[in-house]
Chains A and B, each alone.
Chain A
Amino acid sequence: MKPQAEEKPVIKAGVEEKDYSGAKYGMWFFLLTEILFFGGMFLLYSVYRYRFPGEFHAGASEENLVWGSINTVLLLTSSLFMAAAITAVKKGNNKLSVILQALTVVLGVVFLFIKGSEWGEKIVKGLYPSSPALLKLGKGEILYFGLYYVMTGLHGLHVFVGIVVILFMMYYTVTGKINKDYPVRLENTGLYWHFVDMVWIYLFPLFYLVT
């Protein structure tokens, strides 16, 4: 008897390989590394806050609660728009999805603008890393402002990256590369954006509510 020929997988030329679960897991793995990345900084903040409670309170009194609260509302609302943009794509409404993604980008840009203004205010006062005015302050306040710039700066960088990625997603949604049959790129971008929002949810009480 002739042995049965082994079945070989058919690879079609020009057809993009798609793996929904793989793409989702990949994004979650990346986010887990981000949790530990930001977690290390939160740990550093907590230890130094415990060591220098008075100086941290004094440093935090420089923060403007109103702007911080507005920024939090902006990010939470941008998360709503991002989540709704995914629903819109899954319902086959790419046009609405692009509008919602654009709104997410606008809110992200406003967030960065406000954050930049806050940095500007402090820099004008001479409170920036290694500045003569800052070096005259106590050890705890130097640490507070160092952590403030590093943590909010890295978060801001993540927001900026998120904005750039969403702009690409808008292009893919317009061209139909993101569609109701394969929305995983937009879903993963949403996961990233919500994660960035989540980091701010912790940064806000640490820098604005501890005065």
Chain B
Amino acid sequence: MERTEGEQRARIVSYRTYIMTWLFLLFLLALNISVSQVLVKGITVLLNIIIASCMAVTNLVFFMNLRYEGKFLRLMVSMAILVLTLIILFTFSDVLFRAR
């Protein structure tokens, strides 16, 4: 749903929402540290990055309030993340398959 400028400006996010977000981020941080200490190496790196990405998305959606922004802005941010992901994937495909 597209939000008008007035709606976006007037929206007040409650302190409670921010505190819950913070607690959730601390939980994910604790989980990330635990995973690196307990699990088998190899899987941990991937899991660490996945958990870090969950933390980043939580930050974007709740602290940066991307959920209240308009469609265009959300699309723009998604495109930037997609482009970065594609760059990383293409570079890795080159690194993995190039003869040394």
Interface residues of A (CB under 8 A from B): 20-21, 24-25, 28, 32, 35-36, 39, 42-43, 46-47, 50-51, 65, 69, 72-73, 76-77, 79-80, 82-84, 86-87, 90-91, 183-184, 190-191, 194-195, 197-198, 201-202, 204-205, 209-211
What is the distance, in angstroms, from A77's C-beta to the closest C-beta of chain B?
Answer: 7
What is the distance, in angstroms, from B11's C-beta to the closest C-beta of chain A?
Answer: 8
B77 touches A28 (CB 8 A): yes
B18 touches A83 (CB 8 A): yes
Give the contacts of B39-87 with A (CB-CB under 8 A).
Answer: 44-45, 48-49, 51-52, 55-56, 59-60, 63-64, 69, 73, 76-77, 80-81, 83-84, 87
Given A28-B76, A198-B59, A43:B88 Cβ within 8 A: yes
A55→B96 CA distance, assembly (Å): 19
A205 touches B26 (CB 8 A): no
A76 touches B25 (CB 8 A): yes
Q: Which among A20, A69, A195, A201 is the interface contact of B55 at CB below 8 angstroms?
A: A201
Given A32-B77, A73-B26, A39:B84 Cβ within 8 A: yes
Given A35-B84, A39-B84, A201:B15 Cβ within 8 A: no
B25 touches A205 (CB 8 A): no
A90 touches B12 (CB 8 A): yes
B80 touches A32 (CB 8 A): yes
Interface residues of B (CB under 8 A from A): 5, 8-9, 12-15, 18-19, 21-22, 25-26, 29, 32-33, 36, 44-45, 48-49, 51-52, 55-56, 59-60, 63-64, 69, 73, 76-77, 80-81, 83-84, 87-88, 91-92, 95-96
For residue A83, which residues in chain B have a CB less than 8 angstroms away from its CB? 13, 18, 21, 63
A and B contact pairs by CB, cutoff 8 A, 20 listed:
A28-B73, A28-B76, A32-B77, A35-B81, A39-B87, A39-B88, A43-B87, A80-B18, A80-B63, A87-B12, A87-B18, A183-B9, A190-B63, A194-B59, A194-B60, A198-B60, A201-B59, A202-B49, A204-B52, A205-B32
What is the distance, in angstroms, from B14's C-beta to the closest C-beta of chain A?
Answer: 7
B95 touches A50 (CB 8 A): yes
Given A32-B77, A79-B63, A201-B52, A46:B26 Cβ within 8 A: no
B15 touches A210 (CB 8 A): no
Q: Which among B19, B52, B91 is the interface contact of A43 at CB below 8 angstroms?
A: B91
What is the distance, in angstroms, from B26's C-beta to the closest C-beta of chain A?
Answer: 6
A183→B51 CA distance, assembly (Å): 32
A28→B45 CA distance, assembly (Å): 30
B76 touches A209 (CB 8 A): no
Q: Which among A21, A198, A209, A210 is the interface contact of B5 at CB below 8 angstroms?
A: A21
